[in-house]
């Protein structure tokens, strides 16, 4: 007598056979109908209890959230909405759940409430659908790169360098914070710290990945990254997972091709493999949209949006062209933007990115060739001396989903740029070495995994697509 999952049973043809299944009670109706879920699928299996022949005390223990083991006969369902159900012959309560205390009642909870109960929110339909899609996307990422000849590279989590030069790092130390050792000139004596130097949690595995691309050709990282930026938005986390491919001999055009193909392929795979969860999330989003005023409603359902991205080319536009569009657009002229675009050189905010994607081009956009002053030091300088070979992929609702570039491979130019930005050559001697020994054109990008999950699931807040979100003033669980 082997144990089966709900997913297997719902698809099985073992009619009239005895089956065994374990799971959690979602609801118990009329002392008869258990909706049982075990995580294997969004769908529940209906288990019909013979209440006349079941002890009253046992019936009382069948409550929402309780863990149960069920033995019964699989029969064709009499009711609507399901093909099969289980006629229960034996039920064992594995773990009780006090209905007066269990927070996940079978009703609609706010996402705020669910975040406060992040350890239990996975027991809801929405969160379990999101996390199954997240797992499928993660697998699709590894699958895509493996199929295309990339090696997975594990970048270090603790680093001594600031890859993005933005200074938004969490420090790593084992110094006693109540007795910080000081040098003679009064600064912190990091020589006495664990690593004998200042260290932090990585903001990106790119610089290390570049060294590996210079030997393995095609590599990618997929790991946690950390940013101490005080951005309390629906798109920022302090701890998030980033996917960073890095490819030797790829120029910026190759890099754009890779980003576009990669995103389309992983979304296609999820469309294919997560049909039930996506159908549920599609319906959830449609319901949510229907509560908004007409003008704010999305024109496409979730499934339509996903298919649109997988079936249409991303529009490639230079930064200079984008600035012209933005300068002349209605919201800019009518001062509807929070940040008005006046001049070439302005950094784009998410309101501008979303305008380009949602209102102007109405499709994902890849912006490239940004001003040198608003991008990181490692990006390749163009012949004009004003722009760098940067690219950002912009998505509806999300804004920037990918940031990448062709890297500056010329030793002298890179050294000059580092000097101009006051980046310590001694800290990055190993990075400069890659430009001294067999340097070559190479490119890569970083995709924020949670932003991709956000898009794929149609959720609104990035804190609802990672199991235990970390954000300013919040590291519970």
CB-based contact 41:9 (threshold 8 Å): no
Residues 198 and 384: their CA atoms lie apart, in Å, by 37
Q: How many CA within 13 A on the CB side of residue 179?
A: 2
Q: Which residue in the shown chain puts its C-beta closest to ligand 4AD?
A: 403
Count other C-beta atoms under 10 Å from residue 56's C-beta: 8
The residues in 125-144 that bind ligand 4AD, with binding defined as CB under 6 A, are none
Does position 205 interact with Mg ion (CB under 5 A)? The reply is: no
Count other C-beta atoms under 10 Å from residue 415's C-beta: 16
Q: Which is nearer to Mg ion, 153 or 370 (CB)?
A: 370
Does position 448 interact with ligand 4AD (CB under 6 A)? The reply is: yes
Question: Whole-number minimum distance, CB 466 to Mg ion, in Å?
Answer: 19
The interface partner of residue 243, options being Mg ion, ligand 4AD, none and the CB cut-off 5 to 8 Å by kind, is none
Q: Which residues of 304-341 are buried (b: 16+ CB within 10 A; e: fewer)?
A: ebbeebbeeebbebebbebbebbeebebbeeeebeeeb
The residues in 359-418 that bind Mg ion, with binding defined as CB under 5 A, are 403
DSSP 355: I
Give me the residues paired with residue 222 across strands: 243
The interface partner of residue 254, options being Mg ion, ligand 4AD, none and the CB cut-off 5 to 8 Å by kind, is none
Q: Which is nearer to ligand 4AD, 142 or 327 (CB)?
A: 142
Closest CA to 462 of 31, 111, 52: 111
Please choose, out of 5-13, 102-110, 153-161, 402-410, the segment that lies near ligand 4AD by the rule CB under 6 A: 402-410
Helices (H) and strands (E) in the chain, counts: 14, 17
Q: Which is nearer to ligand 4AD, 64 or 460 (CB)?
A: 460
The interface partner of residue 404, options being Mg ion, ligand 4AD, none and the CB cut-off 5 to 8 Å by kind, is ligand 4AD
The interface partner of residue 236, options being ligand 4AD, Mg ion, none and the CB cut-off 5 to 8 Å by kind, is ligand 4AD
Q: Which is nearer to ligand 4AD, 282 or 400 (CB)?
A: 400
Does position 245 interact with Mg ion (CB under 5 A)? The reply is: no
Give me the residues paired with residue 85 across strands: 75
Does position 444 interact with ligand 4AD (CB under 6 A)? The reply is: yes
- 3-class DSSP assignment, residue 103: coil
Residues 258 and 149: their CA atoms lie apart, in Å, by 13
Question: Whole-number minimum distance, CB 308 to ligand 4AD, in Å?
Answer: 20
Count residues near Mg ion (CB under 5 A): 1
Q: Are strands 33-37 and 18-29 parallel, antiparallel or unpaired?
A: antiparallel
Does position 446 interact with ligand 4AD (CB under 6 A)? The reply is: yes
Q: Are strands 84-95 and 45-48 parallel, antiparallel or unpaired?
A: parallel
The residues in 189-208 that bind ligand 4AD, with binding defined as CB under 6 A, are 204, 206
The pair of structure tokens assigned to 401 is: 């989903």
The residues in 231-260 that bind ligand 4AD, with binding defined as CB under 6 A, are 236-237, 240, 242, 244
Residues at the interface with Mg ion (CB under 5 A): 403
Residues at the interface with ligand 4AD (CB under 6 A): 163-164, 204, 206, 227, 229, 236-237, 240, 242, 244, 400-404, 444-448, 450-451
């Amino acid at each position: 007598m082997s144990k089966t999952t709900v997913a297997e049973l719902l698809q099985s043809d073992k009619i009239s056979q005895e089956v065994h299944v374990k799971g959690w009670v979602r609801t118990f109706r009329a002392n008869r109908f258990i909706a049982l879920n075990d995580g294997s699928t969004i769908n529940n299996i209906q288990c019909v209890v013979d209440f006349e022949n079941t002890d009253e005390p046992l019936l009382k223990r069948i409550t929402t959230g309780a863990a149960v083991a069920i033995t019964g006969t699989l029969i064709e369902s009499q009711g609507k909405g399901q093909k099969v159900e289980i006629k229960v012959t034996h039920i064992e309560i594995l773990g009780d759940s006090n209905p007066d205390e269990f927070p996940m009642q079978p009703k609609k909870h706010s996402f705020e409430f669910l975040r406060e109960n992040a350890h239990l929110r996975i027991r809801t339909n929405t969160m379990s659908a999101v996390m199954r899609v997240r797992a499928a996307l993660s697998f699709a990422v590894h699958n895509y790169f493996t199929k295309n000849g990339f090696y997975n590279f594990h970048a270090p989590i603790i680093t001594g360098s600031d890859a993005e030069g933005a200074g938004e790092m969490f420090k790593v130390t084992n110094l006693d914070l109540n007795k910080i050792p000081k040098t003679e000139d009064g600064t912190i004596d990091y020589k006495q710290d664990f690593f004998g130097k200042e260290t932090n949690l990585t903001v990106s595995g790119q610089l290390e990945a570049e060294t590996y691309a210079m030997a393995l050709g095609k590599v990618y990282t997929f790991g946690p990254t950390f940013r101490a930026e005080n951005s309390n938005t629906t798109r920022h986390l302090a701890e998030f997972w980033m996917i960073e491919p890095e490819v030797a001999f790829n120029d910026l055009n190759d890099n754009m091709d890779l980003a576009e193909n990669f995103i389309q392929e992983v979304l296609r795979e999820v469309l294919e493999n997560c049909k039930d969860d996506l159908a549920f999330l599609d319906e959830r989003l449609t319901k949510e949209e229907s509560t908004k005023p007409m003008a704010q409603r999305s024109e496409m359902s979730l499934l339509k949006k996903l298919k649109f991205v997988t079936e249409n080319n991303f529009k490639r536009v230079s930064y200079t062209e984008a600035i012209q569009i933005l300068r002349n657009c209605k919201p800019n002229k009518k001062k509807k933007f929070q940040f008005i675009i006046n001049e070439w050189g302005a950094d784009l905010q998410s309101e501008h990115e979303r305008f380009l994607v949602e209102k102007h081009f109405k499709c994902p956009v890849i912006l490239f060739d940004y001003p040198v002053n608003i991008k990181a030091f490692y990006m390749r300088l163009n012949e004009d001396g004003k722009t760098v070979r940067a690219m950002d992929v912009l998505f509806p609702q999300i804004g920037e989903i990918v940031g990448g570039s062709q890297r500056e491979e010329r030793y002298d130019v890179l050294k000059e740029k580092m000097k101009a930005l006051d980046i310590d050559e001694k800290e990055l001697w190993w990075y400069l070495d890659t430009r001294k020994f067999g340097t070559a054109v190479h490119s890569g990008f970083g995709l924020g995994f949670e932003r991709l999950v956000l898009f794929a699931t149609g959720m609104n807040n990035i804190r609802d697509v990672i199991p235990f979100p970390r954000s300013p003033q919040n590291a519970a669980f």
